Chain A
Amino acid sequence: MNPAALIASVYVFALAAFLGYQVISRVPPLLHTPLMSATNAISGISLIGSLVLAGAKGYPLPAHILGFVAVTTATINVVGGFGITDRMLKMFGKRKPEAAKAPAKGAAQ
């Protein structure tokens, strides 16, 4: 990495940190669990680094295998993370009248 590229990266990092602070401090405590699970899914973006390792030109077999494991775990995070976040947020979307008629699963016993 040459100095210019490094400086550009540091700019990106600093601005993202600033923006992240602004955006995330507005998320209400109500949604903190979905927030954690969502940011987790989003940081599963390291998947794109893993893809390169797993299959790109110029990487030997051991790298491909490491990449395969990385692709797997990152994909688990992306698919699982977004899936579960959506499941949670769906619950928060529910309104009162709808809530009244849905029978509770835990009611048995």
Chain B
Amino acid sequence: MNLAIYFMEATYLTASILFILSLKMMSHPDTARRGMFLAEAGMFAAIVGTLVGTQIVSWVWIIAGLAVGSIIGGWMAVTVPMTAMPQRTALSHAFGALAAALVGIGEFVVKAHEMGTVTRGALGFEVMLGALTTTGSLIAAGKLQGLIAGKPIQFRGQNALNLFIFLGMVTSFAYFWAHPEVVAAFYTMLGLAFVFGVMLVIPIGSADMPVVMSLLNSYAGLAAAATGFVLGNNVLIIAGTLDGFSGFILSVLMCKAMNRSITNVLFGGFGSVIAEASADAGGVMREINLEDAAMQLAFANRVVFVPGYGLATAQAQHAVRELAELLEGRGVTVKYAIHPVAGRMPGHMNVLLAEANVPYSALYEMEQINPEFPSTDVAVVIGANDVVNPDARDNPKSLIAGMPILEVDRAKSVIVLKRGQGRGFSGLENPLFFKPCTSMLYGDAKSTLSHLAQAVQRV
């Protein structure tokens, strides 16, 4: 071992430590940003270490790749709006997984014959996970961006076909493992993994995206960890595992917040069963006009805003903050209630409200805010539906029975901002809208909120 290699290994060790520290500092918003600087330093060190410690013979491709990647990445970092964060994240899962898959393919092209059994197994995992995460994430990004219909795409025999593709993929993996000289087995596995990624995500509806995003996050991380096994590189194993487990923990949290299992999300095709379970919500929805709503808000003591995906689509985060500030100016206590699966990815609502300068001390998690609803004068639901559906609590036959909800129906009065009279993404009827304490305010969330603000000023 010469000096350069010692140096490289030292940078890898440093990077590993810095990565773990940076994630530890993520546990509080005050330290999180400093933590990320550590991670960046670690990444930089590892890159320099690699360039020094490896015998690089052709710099052209490296420099070109770094330059093109930096330009695109930098452009994305600066221009992507916060409302597009779910798409951006899905896309980055795709990029990360693709990089892992390509490294695997490259290793296969160059070194397949000299690989041991273990390495070959890891390589198969890497390429398989990488490939299916790439296409799966691209489909997810397409759905989130609205390029592909957000509704679940389903057909008869879908699960059977998926099982068939999955088995085909696993069989070719096994064959490649046993017979590395059969090149076709490797490429069959690769192709089937690409197809399987697509098949895995198309039957999943938009409302389930938080789970899918977390799962893809996990897969992308595990693909990177598998790369570490192939290359015998510890920092890759550590960073990939951290990413993989982070995604896994988030998936579990998201599933819990919907009271569903991962298998149910992946193969249940939620939202396709629509109509039957939600026949008779009955009653009438009571509409309210702006002035009355403004009056209610202005003379309330406690107001809780409940944002959902509708807030993101209407880009209403600034408008809600302005209204909240006006109310606070009148002595109203304003809080925000955030459901774990509100929006399209974990923490989606928090980021949007933070962008609009809402202090994070005003954002409350479900468990913290639920006991406060009975003493809340007005709960304002902005483009949220399933997360406030009392059926989840009261009706054991409901499709979302058992899902923990924000209990806005316990507030003294509820104002629901909604685009139209239609049902939510899951297609379920929401009895909240028919309760006597609820009044509906139809229209685009952003303009409704700014009109409300004007009306509050006139009160």
A residues contacting B by CB (< 8 A) are: 1-2, 5-6, 9, 12-13, 16-17, 19-21, 23-60, 62-96, 98-100, 102, 104-107, 109
Contact = CB atoms under 8 A, between A and B. Distances in A.
B99 A39 contact: no
Contact of A73 (B99, B229, B235): B99
Interface in B236-265: 236-247, 249-250, 253
A33 B27 contact: no
Given A33-B350, A71-B69, A76-B69, A55 B356 contact: no
Given A5-B232, A107-B322, 19 more contacts: A1-B229, A20-B245, A36-B214, A38-B36, A39-B221, A39-B243, A39-B246, A43-B239, A48-B46, A49-B99, A49-B100, A51-B47, A66-B102, A72-B64, A73-B102, A74-B69, A79-B73, A80-B76, A82-B77
Interface stretch (B198-206, B299-307, B358-366, B379-387): B358-366
B62 interface: yes
A8 to B, nearest CB: 8
A109 B102 contact: no
Contacts of B65: 50, 54, 67-72, 75
A64 B249 contact: no
B116 interface: yes
A4 to B, nearest CB: 11
B27 A28 contact: yes
Contacts of A25: 249
Interface of B: 15, 19-20, 22-24, 26-30, 32-33, 36, 39-40, 43, 46-47, 49-51, 54-62, 64-66, 68-70, 72-74, 76-78, 80, 82, 85, 88-89, 92-93, 95-96, 98-100, 102-103, 105-107, 109-110, 116, 118-119, 122, 213-214, 217, 220-221, 223-225, 227-229, 231-247, 249-250, 253, 315-319, 321-322, 325, 338, 340, 345-348, 350-351, 354-361, 363, 365, 446-447, 450
Given A9-B237, A40-B217, A47 B109 contact: no
A49 B317 CA distance: 41
Contacts of A48: 46-47, 49-50, 233, 235-236
A13 B237 CA distance: 6
B61 A65 contact: yes
Contacts of B23: 20, 23-24, 27, 35, 38-39, 42
